[in-house]
A = this chain, B = another copy of it.
Amino acid sequence: MQRTRILVVGGVAAGPAAAAAAVRTDPDAEVVLFEQGVDVSYGACELPYLASGLVRDARDLVRHDASDLERSRGFSVRTLHRAEGIDPAARRLTVRDLASGAVREERYEALVLATGARAANGGVDGLEGPRVCTLRTLDDGTRLSEALRRDPTGHVVVLGGGFTGLETASRLAAAGRRVTLLAPGGPASDHLEPVLAARLDAALLRHGVAVRRERATAIRHDAGGPPLAVRTDRGELVGAGLVVAALGIVPETALGGSAGLRIGGSGAFRVDAGMRTSARGIWACGDCVEVPRLPDARPAWVPLAPVARQGARVAGHNAARRGRQAEERLRSQAVGYCARIAGLEIGSVGWTGASARREGFDADVVVVEHVSASPLHPESAPLHAALVFERPGGRILGAQFLGSSGAVARANVIVAALHGGATVSDLHEFDFAYSPPVAPALDILTIAGRAARKTLRQVRRTAP
């Protein structure tokens, strides 16, 4: 009897996690992972730190190499192999060996797509060339750090106000570069209420990052003075020795799309709660799929490593179980972003006020300020928070925290609260621990819950 074959397409985070889950669920299956690049498992979120020199060696970011995964996780890895086509009816995957150019048909019983996402170009012309870098692969990170070493100007223009752009800009400024960040909506505007984003903006300025609320439209490589000039939508030209394009990412769905897999409104694969695509025998996970999102289960594209890992576990298990074990389901995701940028710790979970209203929630927001510990203690630092909640019931929709420390801690409390379906009154009534040097008598979580509850009561009192 032939061994059951489970194929996985794509490395980095989701693919290896799905393959490992498949082996755990069916140790008798042959599980093979195909990755078109050289590296199969690395810390993609560390790339801004590699580029800026905080992490010294690209090899430090490699979590597992192929032989390591084969030995410890029990699945085979074929790097430099690109999947080029799927025949869902025949359960065949077409794979090209990029070294030899040879093309093979690989049979499968179950296929898991973890094709990830690719850098978006944001409509900017001239993103090619040796002085323009993106940050998606280990090679990108190495390339950027080498380009930085060769850059005579010391001036870097970063395109994009998302977390990757902000982390990169902040780290490069800390490493002594002159940095201009082009963020048309301002920094982290998708993840922070305007009043918190303004604090981040000010911190960036203090840390040597000049934020311009302009959109890059083109990069000129033939500028007279500096090597590059970035043209903005205000018609200005910003000189640069180097450009880092962090213009966001888009789901990579070409392979599955060509096989007719259903694509959701976000542009990523639409899957069910078991991570099953619209084609029999094909599951998907990682940055190429939509996932259910809290507080309900509406499909959303959330390209985050923790979400990818959760989805991969479910997809890998379900691809391997074939009815013999209970199906796993991906629970709705809280969606937490965090970072350290310009000396500030930032945690943002769930919806912002604006994004919640765009989704149709009757959302309100309170913003509060407190301390991370008792103010008599040296560790105490200011902390700012926004709590996003639904009227009239007070269900928590999201929260954001910003301060020199303690922000991510509170964000993860909100992750648990969102998963538990907590309201702002619940948050107010949770008995968070207190000890002067490490936690204030009233936590900012308690204060935010109380402020939101008060807002809701006033709304009820003044309702017609």
- Chain A positions near chain B (C-beta within 8 angstroms): 43, 45-46, 49, 54-55, 60-61, 163, 167, 304-307, 309-310, 331, 333-340, 345, 347, 349, 374, 376-377, 406, 408-413, 415-417, 419-422, 426, 429-439, 441-443, 445
Contact A338-B376, Cβ < 8 Å, known A416-B422, A417-B420: no
A59, chain B: closest CB distance, angstroms: 11
A439 and B408 form a contact (CB under 8 A): yes
Q: How far is it, in angstroms, between the C-alpha of A275 and the C-alpha of B422 when the chains are bound?
A: 23
Contacts of A409 in B (CB 8 A): 406, 408-410, 412-413
Beyond A45-B441, A55-B376, 17 additional contacts (C-beta under 8 Å) are A45-B436, A46-B376, A49-B377, A49-B436, A167-B435, A306-B441, A309-B441, A336-B432, A338-B435, A408-B439, A409-B409, A412-B433, A416-B420, A417-B420, A419-B420, A419-B422, A420-B420
Residue from A45, A377, A434, A442 whose CB has the most chain B CB atoms within 10 Å? A434
Q: Could you list some 18 contacts between A and B, CB below 8 A?
A: A43-B374, A46-B374, A49-B436, A305-B434, A306-B434, A333-B431, A335-B431, A347-B433, A408-B435, A410-B412, A411-B433, A412-B432, A412-B443, A413-B415, A416-B416, A416-B417, A416-B420, A419-B422
Interchain CB contact (< 8 A) of A415 among B45, B310, B430, B435: B430
Contact A431-B339, Cβ < 8 Å, known A409-B408, A415-B413: no
Residue from A331, A338, A406, A431 whose CB has the most chain B CB atoms within 10 Å? A431
B310 and A429 form a contact (CB under 8 A): yes
A340 and B416 form a contact (CB under 8 A): no
Contacts of A334 in B (CB 8 A): 430-431
A433 and B345 form a contact (CB under 8 A): no
Main secondary structure of the interface of A (DSSP, over half): mixed
Contacts of A49 in B (CB 8 A): 376-377, 436-437
A443, chain B: closest CB distance, angstroms: 7
Interchain CB contact (< 8 A) of A438 among B333, B339, B419, B445: B339
Q: How far is it, in angstroms, between the C-alpha of A430 and the C-alpha of B313 when the chains are bound?
A: 13
Residue from A310, A339, A376 whose CB has the most chain B CB atoms within 10 Å? A376
Q: How far is it, in angstroms, between the C-alpha of A307 and the C-alpha of B339 when the chains are bound?
A: 32
B431 and A336 form a contact (CB under 8 A): yes
A270, chain B: closest CB distance, angstroms: 20
Q: How far is it, in angstroms, between the C-alpha of A305 and the C-alpha of B433 when the chains are bound?
A: 9
A440, chain B: closest CB distance, angstroms: 10
Contacts of A422 in B (CB 8 A): 416, 419-420
